[in-house]
Amino acid sequence: MNNSVQISNISIHQTENGLFSLNDLHRASGGEDRHAPRRWLQNIQTNDLIKELEKDGKPSIQSKQRLGTFVCRELVIAYGMWISPKFALQVIQTFLAVSDGIKTVTPKPTRALPDGLTGEQIEAVKKLHNALTKSAPKEAQVRIAITLWSAVKSKFGCSYKEVPAEQFPEVLSVISRVAVENGVLYGEVLDAPPKAEPKLPIDGNALADIAAMVYYGTWMIELGKDISAPLKQLGNRQAVTMWTVWHETRSRLKRTVAALEVLRKYADKDTSDRIAVCLEGIYSKATVR
């Protein structure tokens, strides 16, 4: 067991096959229950990333009796980003600083390019890039994807495949840091507070009164229209006004009724039922048909 990595004065134990203790990382982050490894491992995105990492047959996570859970470097970074941007940067900086001293037992790698990253390293970079991109809101994913690749090219002056293999940890660091700086946090916040339901800006009784007044108004406008013709025959000068009011308010009444239908969804059951009665009466009038 290798103890060459320390974060916040906590030694992060490492197995012989290069996996790191999640339990130690949890303690280094402050040890809050909401950041416990078991919660992170319940995350759908975490499990999707694990499946991606293990497609090449290389183990990315391992449980050891009485010692806890150990994960690969990519999952270490993902776990740090799930906890907070501040801790993520601390993890990235620490792993970058000690990368030269971390000894792992791995076969001699093959390189995609003569002086570039190895095939395994390239796959790890692509998987991390893909996971971080998918963690961003859908409408921002294209921008984030381009930003992450551009950051690597700006840092090293070449594509990520051409970066020397010994600088592999730094490639992961750049991608992760830029993702954090752009507001990307890997994974879901399992204990995030539920979103508050919208509340009416007025009480239920006031809303029900408005619905009642719309009903009575509709009734009176339609009544005025019905008697406008007889009144006109009698020479009443208000007859034309009554018909005009009916004609010019129909579209407004329809919009008002539609608004009431929306608002009643946010009211309590009693208020909603009272509004429904008014709406039923309003719909019975030809004015709003």
DSSP code of residue 288:
G
Specify the pTM: 0.44
pLDDT higher than 80, residue 135 = no
Between residues 18 and 113, which one has the greater pLDDT? 18
Burial of residue 92 (number of CB atoms within 10 Å: 0-12, 13-18, 19+): buried
Q: Which residues contact 259 (CB under 8 A, 6 or more apart)?
A: none
pLDDT at 197: 57
Between residues 198 and 208, which one has the greater pLDDT? 208
pLDDT higher than 50, residue 193 = no
> For 198-204, what is the mean pLDDT?
71
> For 73-86, what is the mean pLDDT?
86
Q: CA-based Rg of the chain, rounded to a whole angstrom? A: 33
Coil, strand or helix: which one is 130?
helix
Q: Which helix (H) or strand (E) holds 10?
A: strand 10-14
What order of strands is seen across the sheet that includes strand 61-64?
2-7, 10-14, 20-21, 68-71, 61-64
What are the pLDDT digits (tens) for 90-121?
888 777 666 544 443 334 444 445 578 888 88
pLDDT higher than 70, residue 196 = no
Query: Two tokens at 40?
Result: 């992170």
pLDDT higher than 50, residue 88 = yes
> For 169-178, what is the mean pLDDT?
83
How many Å apart are CA 186 and CA 177, to the nearest integer? 12
How many Å apart are CA 147 and CA 139, to the nearest integer? 14
Between residues 52 and 196, which one has the greater pLDDT? 52
The mean predicted confidence, pLDDT, of the chain is: 79
pLDDT higher than 60, residue 138 = yes
Coil, strand or helix: which one is 120?
helix
pLDDT at 286: 60
**In 3D, which of 161, 111, 127, 126 has the Cα closest to residue 51?**
127
Residue 71 Cα to chain centre, angstroms: 25
pLDDT higher than 50, residue 233 = yes
Cβ atoms of residues 34 and 43 within 8 Å: no
pLDDT at 27: 92
The pLDDT-based confidence of 192 (bands split at 50, 70, 90) is very low
pLDDT higher than 80, residue 86 = yes
How many Å apart are CA 66 and CA 185, to the nearest integer? 30
How many Å apart are CA 187 and CA 210, to the nearest integer? 45
> For 249-266, what is the mean pLDDT?
82
Query: Two tokens at 159?
Result: 């594509």
pLDDT at 107: 40
